[in-house]
Amino acid sequence: MNRTLFMGTNLKMYKTSNETVAFLTELHELTRDIDRTRLTLFVIPSHTSLESARKCVPQSSIRLGAQNMHWEDEGQFTGEISPRMIKETGAEIIEIGHSERRHVMGETDEQENKKVLAALRHGFTALLCIGETKEQKELNISDEVLSMQLKIGLNGVQRKDIHRIWIAYEPVWAIGVNGTPASAEYAEEKHGVIKSVLKKMFGDEAAQIPVLYGGSVNPQNASGLIIKRNIDGLFVGRSAWQAPAFNSLIRQVMPLFKS
Ligand code: PEP
Protein backbone atom coordinates (compact mmCIF):
# COMPACT_ATOMS: atom_id res chain seq x y z
CA MET A 1 0.00 0.00 0.00
CA ASN A 2 1.25 3.48 -0.85
CA ARG A 3 1.50 5.60 2.26
CA THR A 4 1.14 9.37 2.37
CA LEU A 5 2.91 11.26 5.14
CA PHE A 6 0.52 13.02 7.54
CA MET A 7 1.82 16.14 9.24
CA GLY A 8 -0.50 18.29 11.31
CA THR A 9 -0.73 20.68 14.18
CA ASN A 10 -3.36 21.64 16.72
CA LEU A 11 -3.01 25.32 17.62
CA LYS A 12 -4.94 24.83 20.90
CA MET A 13 -6.06 28.12 22.49
CA TYR A 14 -3.13 30.15 21.25
CA LYS A 15 -3.45 31.97 17.93
CA THR A 16 -6.13 34.59 17.23
CA SER A 17 -7.80 34.73 13.85
CA ASN A 18 -5.28 37.25 12.48
CA GLU A 19 -2.36 35.25 13.83
CA THR A 20 -3.78 32.06 12.32
CA VAL A 21 -4.14 33.68 8.90
CA ALA A 22 -0.54 34.94 9.06
CA PHE A 23 0.69 31.47 10.12
CA LEU A 24 -1.24 29.65 7.39
CA THR A 25 -0.26 32.10 4.66
CA GLU A 26 3.41 31.68 5.53
CA LEU A 27 3.14 27.89 5.86
CA HIS A 28 1.42 27.65 2.49
CA GLU A 29 4.12 29.77 0.81
CA LEU A 30 6.96 27.82 2.41
CA THR A 31 5.56 24.40 1.54
CA ARG A 32 3.91 25.03 -1.81
CA ASP A 33 6.60 23.14 -3.77
CA ILE A 34 5.97 19.91 -1.79
CA ASP A 35 3.96 17.34 -3.70
CA ARG A 36 0.63 16.97 -1.91
CA THR A 37 0.13 13.45 -3.18
CA ARG A 38 3.00 12.57 -0.81
CA LEU A 39 2.01 14.86 2.05
CA THR A 40 -1.28 15.48 3.86
CA LEU A 41 -0.74 18.74 5.71
CA PHE A 42 -3.36 19.90 8.18
CA VAL A 43 -3.85 22.61 10.76
CA ILE A 44 -6.43 22.74 13.54
CA PRO A 45 -6.97 26.33 14.70
CA SER A 46 -9.57 27.85 17.02
CA HIS A 47 -13.22 27.77 15.96
CA THR A 48 -13.23 31.55 15.57
CA SER A 49 -10.36 31.38 13.06
CA LEU A 50 -11.81 28.70 10.81
CA GLU A 51 -13.71 30.86 8.36
CA SER A 52 -10.90 33.33 7.64
CA ALA A 53 -8.41 30.47 7.71
CA ARG A 54 -10.30 28.67 4.92
CA LYS A 55 -10.32 31.79 2.76
CA CYS A 56 -6.59 32.41 3.01
CA VAL A 57 -5.17 29.07 1.81
CA PRO A 58 -6.47 26.43 -0.60
CA GLN A 59 -7.77 23.16 0.80
CA SER A 60 -5.47 21.30 -1.61
CA SER A 61 -2.50 22.81 0.25
CA ILE A 62 -3.57 22.77 3.90
CA ARG A 63 -6.57 20.91 5.25
CA LEU A 64 -8.33 22.50 8.19
CA GLY A 65 -9.97 21.01 11.22
CA ALA A 66 -11.92 22.04 14.30
CA GLN A 67 -10.63 21.25 17.78
CA ASN A 68 -13.96 20.02 19.11
CA MET A 69 -17.62 19.70 18.16
CA HIS A 70 -20.91 18.86 19.86
CA TRP A 71 -22.69 15.78 18.49
CA GLU A 72 -26.16 17.33 18.22
CA ASP A 73 -27.14 19.34 15.15
CA GLU A 74 -28.70 22.03 17.34
CA GLY A 75 -30.22 22.50 20.78
CA GLN A 76 -29.99 23.91 24.26
CA PHE A 77 -26.23 23.58 24.60
CA THR A 78 -24.97 27.06 25.40
CA GLY A 79 -21.36 27.57 24.42
CA GLU A 80 -21.18 24.49 22.20
CA ILE A 81 -20.63 24.37 18.43
CA SER A 82 -22.62 22.02 16.22
CA PRO A 83 -21.60 20.09 13.09
CA ARG A 84 -23.79 22.37 10.95
CA MET A 85 -21.95 25.42 12.23
CA ILE A 86 -18.54 23.94 11.55
CA LYS A 87 -19.63 22.78 8.10
CA GLU A 88 -20.29 26.40 7.13
CA THR A 89 -16.68 27.36 7.89
CA GLY A 90 -15.29 24.94 5.30
CA ALA A 91 -13.36 22.84 7.84
CA GLU A 92 -13.06 19.18 6.90
CA ILE A 93 -11.60 17.48 9.96
CA ILE A 94 -12.92 17.25 13.52
CA GLU A 95 -10.39 16.56 16.23
CA ILE A 96 -12.06 14.44 18.91
CA GLY A 97 -10.89 13.47 22.37
CA HIS A 98 -7.65 15.43 22.63
CA SER A 99 -6.06 14.74 25.99
CA GLU A 100 -7.05 18.21 27.24
CA ARG A 101 -10.68 17.55 26.31
CA ARG A 102 -10.59 14.22 28.15
CA HIS A 103 -8.49 15.15 31.17
CA VAL A 104 -9.15 18.86 31.67
CA MET A 105 -12.75 19.08 30.43
CA GLY A 106 -13.69 15.59 31.62
CA GLU A 107 -14.97 14.11 28.36
CA THR A 108 -15.66 10.37 28.28
CA ASP A 109 -15.15 7.69 25.65
CA GLU A 110 -18.93 7.55 25.21
CA GLN A 111 -19.02 11.27 24.39
CA GLU A 112 -16.09 10.92 21.99
CA ASN A 113 -18.03 8.15 20.28
CA LYS A 114 -21.07 10.40 19.77
CA LYS A 115 -18.77 13.03 18.28
CA VAL A 116 -17.10 10.52 15.94
CA LEU A 117 -20.48 9.31 14.66
CA ALA A 118 -21.77 12.89 14.26
CA ALA A 119 -18.61 13.91 12.40
CA LEU A 120 -18.97 11.00 9.97
CA ARG A 121 -22.69 11.65 9.50
CA HIS A 122 -21.90 15.21 8.45
CA GLY A 123 -19.17 14.20 6.01
CA PHE A 124 -16.16 15.22 8.10
CA THR A 125 -13.01 13.25 8.74
CA ALA A 126 -12.86 12.27 12.42
CA LEU A 127 -9.43 12.50 14.02
CA LEU A 128 -9.78 10.50 17.22
CA CYS A 129 -7.04 11.13 19.79
CA ILE A 130 -6.23 8.36 22.25
CA GLY A 131 -3.51 7.74 24.79
CA GLU A 132 -2.83 6.35 28.23
CA THR A 133 -2.00 8.40 31.33
CA LYS A 134 1.26 8.05 33.26
CA GLU A 135 -0.57 6.06 35.97
CA GLN A 136 -2.05 3.67 33.41
CA LYS A 137 1.39 3.19 31.87
CA GLU A 138 2.88 2.44 35.29
CA LEU A 139 0.11 -0.07 35.97
CA ASN A 140 1.04 -1.74 32.69
CA ILE A 141 -2.48 -1.37 31.29
CA SER A 142 -1.67 0.91 28.33
CA ASP A 143 -2.67 -1.66 25.72
CA GLU A 144 -6.00 -2.30 27.42
CA VAL A 145 -6.67 1.45 27.70
CA LEU A 146 -5.89 2.04 24.02
CA SER A 147 -8.02 -0.89 23.02
CA MET A 148 -10.94 0.39 25.10
CA GLN A 149 -10.64 3.94 23.77
CA LEU A 150 -10.75 2.58 20.23
CA LYS A 151 -13.55 0.08 20.81
CA ILE A 152 -15.79 2.62 22.54
CA GLY A 153 -14.72 5.67 20.51
CA LEU A 154 -15.30 3.91 17.18
CA ASN A 155 -18.32 1.87 18.22
CA GLY A 156 -20.90 1.84 15.43
CA VAL A 157 -18.54 3.14 12.73
CA GLN A 158 -19.32 1.40 9.47
CA ARG A 159 -16.61 -0.05 7.27
CA LYS A 160 -17.68 2.19 4.39
CA ASP A 161 -16.66 5.21 6.50
CA ILE A 162 -13.25 4.15 7.72
CA HIS A 163 -11.50 6.16 4.99
CA ARG A 164 -12.64 9.18 7.04
CA ILE A 165 -11.12 7.99 10.32
CA TRP A 166 -7.68 9.12 11.46
CA ILE A 167 -6.15 8.18 14.80
CA ALA A 168 -3.63 10.19 16.82
CA TYR A 169 -1.76 8.27 19.50
CA GLU A 170 -0.85 10.87 22.09
CA PRO A 171 0.25 9.44 25.42
CA VAL A 172 -0.93 11.91 28.06
CA TRP A 173 2.47 11.86 29.80
CA ALA A 174 4.20 12.87 26.57
CA ILE A 175 2.15 15.97 25.75
CA GLY A 176 2.89 19.62 26.42
CA VAL A 177 5.50 21.60 28.36
CA ASN A 178 5.74 19.01 31.13
CA GLY A 179 5.69 16.04 28.76
CA THR A 180 8.44 13.50 28.14
CA PRO A 181 8.42 12.36 24.52
CA ALA A 182 7.80 8.64 23.99
CA SER A 183 10.80 6.79 22.59
CA ALA A 184 10.44 5.81 18.96
CA GLU A 185 10.45 2.13 20.03
CA TYR A 186 7.67 2.64 22.56
CA ALA A 187 5.57 4.63 20.09
CA GLU A 188 6.09 2.03 17.37
CA GLU A 189 5.00 -0.76 19.71
CA LYS A 190 1.83 1.10 20.71
CA HIS A 191 1.06 1.95 17.08
CA GLY A 192 1.31 -1.78 16.42
CA VAL A 193 -1.22 -2.44 19.20
CA ILE A 194 -3.56 0.23 17.79
CA LYS A 195 -3.31 -1.18 14.28
CA SER A 196 -4.06 -4.68 15.46
CA VAL A 197 -7.17 -3.51 17.36
CA LEU A 198 -8.32 -1.60 14.26
CA LYS A 199 -7.77 -4.71 12.14
CA LYS A 200 -9.87 -6.80 14.52
CA MET A 201 -12.61 -4.18 14.36
CA PHE A 202 -12.65 -3.43 10.64
CA GLY A 203 -10.68 -6.18 8.88
CA ASP A 204 -7.84 -5.74 6.40
CA GLU A 205 -9.17 -2.40 5.17
CA ALA A 206 -8.23 -0.91 8.54
CA ALA A 207 -4.70 -0.68 7.16
CA GLN A 208 -5.82 2.50 5.39
CA ILE A 209 -6.51 4.27 8.71
CA PRO A 210 -3.54 6.55 9.40
CA VAL A 211 -2.13 6.42 12.93
CA LEU A 212 -0.18 9.55 13.83
CA TYR A 213 2.11 10.02 16.80
CA GLY A 214 1.84 13.15 18.96
CA GLY A 215 3.51 14.23 22.19
CA SER A 216 6.54 16.54 22.37
CA VAL A 217 7.62 15.88 18.78
CA ASN A 218 10.64 18.07 18.02
CA PRO A 219 13.51 18.22 15.52
CA GLN A 220 15.61 15.94 17.74
CA ASN A 221 13.16 13.03 17.92
CA ALA A 222 11.09 13.41 14.73
CA SER A 223 13.43 11.45 12.43
CA GLY A 224 13.60 8.46 14.78
CA LEU A 225 9.82 8.35 14.98
CA ILE A 226 9.02 8.72 11.31
CA ILE A 227 11.23 5.84 10.16
CA LYS A 228 9.03 3.44 12.12
CA ARG A 229 6.79 1.32 9.93
CA ASN A 230 3.61 1.75 11.99
CA ILE A 231 3.91 5.54 12.34
CA ASP A 232 2.05 7.22 9.48
CA GLY A 233 2.66 10.80 10.47
CA LEU A 234 3.23 13.28 13.26
CA PHE A 235 0.74 15.42 15.13
CA VAL A 236 2.78 18.27 16.49
CA GLY A 237 2.12 20.99 19.05
CA ARG A 238 4.73 23.51 20.15
CA SER A 239 7.35 22.61 17.54
CA ALA A 240 4.96 23.48 14.70
CA TRP A 241 3.54 26.82 15.81
CA GLN A 242 6.04 28.90 13.84
CA ALA A 243 5.67 28.32 10.09
CA PRO A 244 9.45 28.17 9.32
CA ALA A 245 9.98 25.61 12.11
CA PHE A 246 7.07 23.46 10.93
CA ASN A 247 8.30 23.69 7.34
CA SER A 248 11.78 22.50 8.34
CA LEU A 249 10.33 19.67 10.42
CA ILE A 250 8.29 18.51 7.41
CA ARG A 251 11.34 18.68 5.13
CA GLN A 252 13.44 16.85 7.72
CA VAL A 253 11.11 13.85 7.92
CA MET A 254 9.80 13.61 4.34
CA PRO A 255 12.85 11.90 2.84
CA LEU A 256 12.91 9.39 5.71
CA PHE A 257 9.28 8.35 5.38
CA LYS A 258 8.78 5.11 3.46
CA SER A 259 5.67 5.46 1.35
C1 PEP B 1 -0.63 18.05 21.75
O2 PEP B 1 -1.01 18.79 22.65
O3 PEP B 1 -1.43 17.35 21.13
C4 PEP B 1 0.78 17.99 21.42
C5 PEP B 1 1.20 17.01 20.67
O6 PEP B 1 1.56 19.01 21.93
P7 PEP B 1 3.15 19.05 22.05
O8 PEP B 1 3.74 18.62 20.73
O9 PEP B 1 3.45 20.49 22.35
O10 PEP B 1 3.52 18.12 23.15
Q: What is the pLDDT of residues 56-73, one digit of tens each?
A: 999 999 999 999 999 999
- Segment 140-157 mean pLDDT: 98
Q: Quote the crossing angle between the two packed helices 184-202 and 142-153, to the nearest 10°.
A: 40
For ligand 1, the distance from its centroid to the CA atom of residue 214, given in whole angstroms, is: 6
- Segment 135-142 mean pLDDT: 98
Is pLDDT above 90 for 234?
A: yes
Per-residue 3-state assignment (H helix, E strand, C coil) for the chain: CCCCEEEEEECCCCCCHHHHHHHHHHHHHHHCCCCCCCEEEEEECCHHHHHHHHHHCCCCCCEEEECCCCCCCCCCCCCCCCHHHHHHHCCCEEEECCHHHHHCCCCCHHHHHHHHHHHHHCCCEEEEEECCCHHHHHCCCHHHHHHHHHHHHCCCCCHHHHHHEEEEECCHHHCCCCCCCCCHHHHHHHHHHHHHHHHHHHCHHHHHCCEEEECCCCCCCHHHHHCCCCCCEEEECHHHCCHHHHHHHHHHHHHHCCC
- Segment 189-209 mean pLDDT: 98
pLDDT confidence of residue 1:
63
Is pLDDT above 90 for 216?
A: yes
Domain count, the chain: 1
Residue at 101: amino acid letter: R
Closest ligand 1 atom, residue 218 Cα: 8
Is pLDDT above 90 for 197?
A: yes
Residue-wise pLDDT for 73-114, tens only, equals: 999 999 999 999 999 999 999 999 999 999 999 999 999 999
- Segment 197-214 mean pLDDT: 98
- Top mutation candidate among 13, 180, 216 for ligand 1, by most atoms within 8 Å of CB: 216
Q: Say which of 95, 100, 132, 170 is annotated catalytic.
A: 170
Say if residues 198 and 167 touch (Cβ distance below 8 Å). yes
Q: Is 110 a catalytic residue?
A: no
What is the residue with the minimal CA distance to atom 4 of ligand 1? 237
Closest ligand 1 atom, residue 179 Cα: 10
Mark residue 7 as left, alpha or beta (left: phi above 0; alpha: psi -120 to 50; beta: remaining). beta
- The distance of Cα 34 from the centroid of its chain, to the nearest Å, equals 21
Residue 141 binned pLDDT confidence (cut-offs 50, 70, 90): very high
Q: Whole-number mean pLDDT of the chain?
A: 97
Each residue of 129-151: b (16+ CB within 10 Å) or e?
bbbbbeebbeeeebbebbbebbe
Q: Which is nearest to 149 in space by CA: 183, 101, 188, 181?
A: 101
Closest ligand 1 atom, residue 181 Cα: 10
pLDDT confidence of residue 47:
98
- Top mutation candidate among 235, 241, 249 for ligand 1, by most atoms within 8 Å of CB: 235
Residue ranges lining ligand 1, Cβ < 6 Å: 10, 170, 175-176, 179, 214-217, 235-238
Instruction: Supply the CATH number for residue 13's domain.
Output: 3.20.20.70
Q: Is the dihedral of CA 156, 162, 208, 223 positive or negative?
A: negative
Is pLDDT above 90 for 3?
A: no
Cβ neighbors of 212 (< 8 A, separation 6 or more) are 6, 8, 166, 167, 168, 169, 231, 232, 233, 234, 235
pLDDT confidence of residue 259:
84
Residue 245 binned pLDDT confidence (cut-offs 50, 70, 90): very high
Q: Is 98 a catalytic residue?
A: yes
Closest ligand 1 atom, residue 129 Cα: 3
What is the residue with the minimal CA distance to atom 8 of ligand 1? 237
Q: Domain of 150?
A: 5-256
Pairing of the two strands 125-130 and 233-236: unpaired
Q: Say which of 70, 92, 95, 98 is annotated catalytic.
A: 98
- Indicate the pTM of the whole model: 0.98
Is pLDDT above 80 for 2?
A: no
For ligand 1, the distance from its centroid to the CA atom of residue 76, given in whole angstroms, is: 32
- Segment 221-230 mean pLDDT: 98
For ligand 1, the distance from its centroid to the CA atom of residue 203, given in whole angstroms, is: 30
For ligand 1, the distance from its centroid to the CA atom of residue 219, given in whole angstroms, is: 14
- Segment 225-238 mean pLDDT: 98
